[in-house]
């Protein structure tokens, strides 16, 4: 009886192994060769079942065997490459494989004064997610001070964080602190940075997004010098955010050729961003969008825009960015276009914001890491039900 109890306890407490996909190479007539980051102490075997984030089942078909000294334990090598087989003939979706069906935890910002309560901004999400997932809390304030403070349910394994935006260095610190506790965020620090900062994703999608130029840093003279050949209307922002609600004096530049106006608006933007300025200053060519009104407080023009959450290479859910209870007016061709975008993304959980131009076509306005992107008009039940 004692032995049976011990075996059961080991099984219940076992955490699924997470294999981060580093590279996929398509080999003609053979299949896709996956190179993954091997979890410490785990050795793959032919026939081992693996699952992608969408629950698609695979088996290890063959393992690449490299020559190594006889004294090197293969389970201690940091990467391993293998072929997979499945009953449906597709490649794995997303950048993670697991040896059990994926089970997601969620981790939310706690209230700054009451650490065992969710922050007011995330309270509804916390309660809704908790109906079907394990949920924990962390102190954003303590994290900024270099400390990890957790409360709520005890979690381990694959986790999605729902948080305020973090600069990449803070996310990297957060990721490592959680990793030490056996909690693995769905996006690596490299994936987070690639889609949180505009220069990380721009080259992959330059044909679907406005023409863009960026200047690292915040030195006004350097910025003006490096943009002296630009003309026409542009939007100014940093690598992450604009000051769109200060549209006319810290965001929209009517003509880059008007140097006095340019210097004033860029100066306003840099000064008001202050220490919150991320990376450098970005200039995005202004596109005439299909307007649906103006913002009641700032006077900023509001356009037909959509926020799309992408999960493991697929559309998770689509939302009208500005209008509550508005229908999503996307054609089958446009959904196909969004699916093609999702397939190109090299991260597991991101948002892409789309806008409709005056001529009716859609363009990409922004990408963002899904963990720090707001729900906009989405209801919590809709969002967490989509998982």
Q: What is the pLDDT of residues 164-202, one digit of tens each?
A: 999 999 999 999 999 999 999 999 999 999 999 999 999
pLDDT at 72 over 60: no
User: What is the pLDDT confidence band of residue 207, given thresholds at 50, 70 and 90?
Assistant: very high
Per-residue pLDDT at 307: 95
Percent of the chain with pLDDT over 70: 93
Q: CA 359, 360, 364, 366: dihedral to nearest 10 degrees?
A: 90
Q: Going by C-beta distance under 8 Å and a sequence separation of 6 or more, which residues neighbour residue 14?
A: none
CB 155 within 8 A of CB 133: no
User: End-to-end CA distance of the chain, in Å?
Assistant: 39
pLDDT at 6 over 50: no
- pLDDT tens per residue, range 359-369: 999 999 999 99
CB 349 within 8 A of CB 188: no
Burial class (CB in 10 A: 0-12, 13-18, 19+), 10: exposed
Query: What angle is formed at CA 305 by the lines to CA 301 and CA 306, rounded to 5 degrees?
Result: 155
Per-residue pLDDT at 12: 38
Measured CA to CA, the distance from residue 91 to residue 187 in angstroms comes to 20
Measured CA to CA, the distance from residue 358 to residue 337 in angstroms comes to 18
Per-residue pLDDT at 325: 61
Per-residue pLDDT at 299: 74
Burial class (CB in 10 A: 0-12, 13-18, 19+), 94: buried
Per-residue pLDDT at 67: 54
The CATH number assigned to the domain with range 2-98 reads 2.40.30.10
Per-residue pLDDT at 40: 82
Q: Which stretch of 62-76, 157-171, 214-228, 269-283 has the lowest confidence by average pLDDT? A: 62-76
pLDDT at 1 over 70: no
- For residue 199 the two structure tokens come to 């220069």
Q: Supply the DSSP symbol for 92.
A: P
**DSSP-derived 3-state class of residue 370:** helix
User: What is the pLDDT confidence band of residue 138, given thresholds at 50, 70 and 90?
Assistant: very high
Q: Which among 304, 28, 350 has a CA at the least distance from the CA of 188? A: 350
As a whole number, mean pLDDT of residues 242-257 equals 93
- For residue 251 the two structure tokens come to 């965001």
The residue with greater pLDDT, 158 or 72, is 158
Q: CA 178, 194, 309, 276: dihedral to nearest 10 degrees?
A: 80
CA distances in angstroms from 300 to 2, 11, 73, 252, 293, listed in the order given: 69, 57, 61, 10, 9
CA distances in angstroms from 384 to 106, 116, 217, 313, 341, listed in the order given: 10, 21, 38, 18, 22
Per-residue pLDDT at 75: 56
Average pLDDT, the chain: 90
Percent of the chain with pLDDT over 90: 78
pLDDT at 143 over 80: yes
**DSSP-derived 3-state class of residue 12:** helix
Per-residue pLDDT at 373: 96
Q: Where are the domains of the chain?
A: 2-98, 105-185, 211-285, 291-385
pLDDT at 74 over 90: no
As a whole number, mean pLDDT of residues 78-99 equals 92
Tell me if the pTM is above 0.75: yes
User: What is the pLDDT confidence band of residue 66, given thresholds at 50, 70 and 90?
Assistant: low
pLDDT at 302 over 70: yes
- For residue 343 the two structure tokens come to 């397939």
CB 58 within 8 A of CB 97: yes
pLDDT at 311 over 80: yes
Between 3.20.20.150, 3.30.450.80, 3.40.50.2300, 3.30.470.20, what CATH number should domain 291-385 receive?
3.30.470.20
Measured CA to CA, the distance from residue 146 to residue 54 in angstroms comes to 34
As a whole number, mean pLDDT of residues 305-316 equals 96
**H or E element in which residue 237 lies:** strand 234-238
Measured CA to CA, the distance from residue 153 to residue 211 in angstroms comes to 46
Domains 2-98 and 291-385 share a fold: no
Q: Which among 314, 302, 321 has a CA at the least distance from the CA of 375? A: 321
Q: Which among 24, 52, 21 has a CA at the least distance from the CA of 36? A: 21
164-194: b or e for each residue (b if 16 or more CB lie within 10 Å)? ebbbbeebbbbbebbeeeebbbbbbbebbbb
């Amino acid at each position: 009886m004692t032995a049976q109890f011990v075996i059961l306890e080991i099984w219940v407490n076992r955490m699924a192994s997470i294999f981060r996909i580093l590279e996929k190479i398509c080999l003609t007539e053979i299949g896709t060769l996956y190179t993954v980051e091997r979890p410490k102490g785990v050795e793959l075997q032919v026939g081992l079942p693996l699952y992608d984030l969408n629950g698609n089942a695979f088996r290890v078909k063959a393992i690449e065997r490299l020559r190594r000294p006889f004294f090197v334990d293969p389970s201690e090598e940091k990467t391993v490459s293998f072929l997979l087989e499945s009953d449906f003939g597709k490649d794995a979706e997303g950048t993670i494989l697991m040896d059990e069906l994926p089970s997601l935890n969620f981790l939310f910002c706690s209230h700054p004064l009451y650490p065992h309560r969710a922050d007011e901004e995330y309270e509804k999400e916390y309660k809704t997610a908790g109906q079907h997932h394990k949920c924990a809390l962390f102190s954003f304030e303590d994290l900024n001070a270099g400390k990890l403070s957790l409360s709520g349910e005890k979690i381990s394994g694959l986790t999605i964080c729902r948080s305020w935006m973090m600069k990449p260095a803070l996310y990297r610190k957060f990721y490592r602190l959680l990793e030490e506790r056996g909690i693995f965020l769905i996006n690596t620090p490299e994936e987070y940075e690639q889609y949180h900062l505009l220069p990380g994703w721009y080259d992959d999608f330059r044909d679907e997004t406005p023409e863009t130029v960026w200047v690292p840093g915040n030195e006004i003279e350097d910025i003006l010098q490096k943009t002296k050949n630009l003309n026409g209307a542009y939007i100014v922002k940093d690598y992450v955010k604009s000051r769109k609600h200060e549209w006319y004096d810290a965001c929209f530049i009517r003509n880059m050729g008007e140097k006095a106006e340019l210097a004033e608006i860029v100066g306003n933007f840099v000064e008001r961003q202050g220490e919150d300025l991320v990376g450098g200053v970005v200039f995005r060519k202004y596109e005439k969008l299909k307007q649906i009104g103006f913002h009641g407080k700032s006077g900023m023009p509001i356009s037909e825009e959509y926020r799309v959450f992408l999960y493991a290479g697929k559309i998770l859910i689509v939302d009208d960015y500005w209008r509550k209870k508005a229908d999503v007016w996307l054609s089958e061709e446009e959904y196909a276009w969004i699916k093609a975008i999702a397939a190109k993304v090299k991260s597991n959980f991101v948002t892409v914001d789309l806008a409709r131009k005056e001529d009716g076509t859609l363009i990409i306005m922004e990408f963002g890491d899904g963990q720090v992107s707001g729900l906009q008009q989405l209801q919590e039940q809709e969002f967490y039900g989509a998982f």
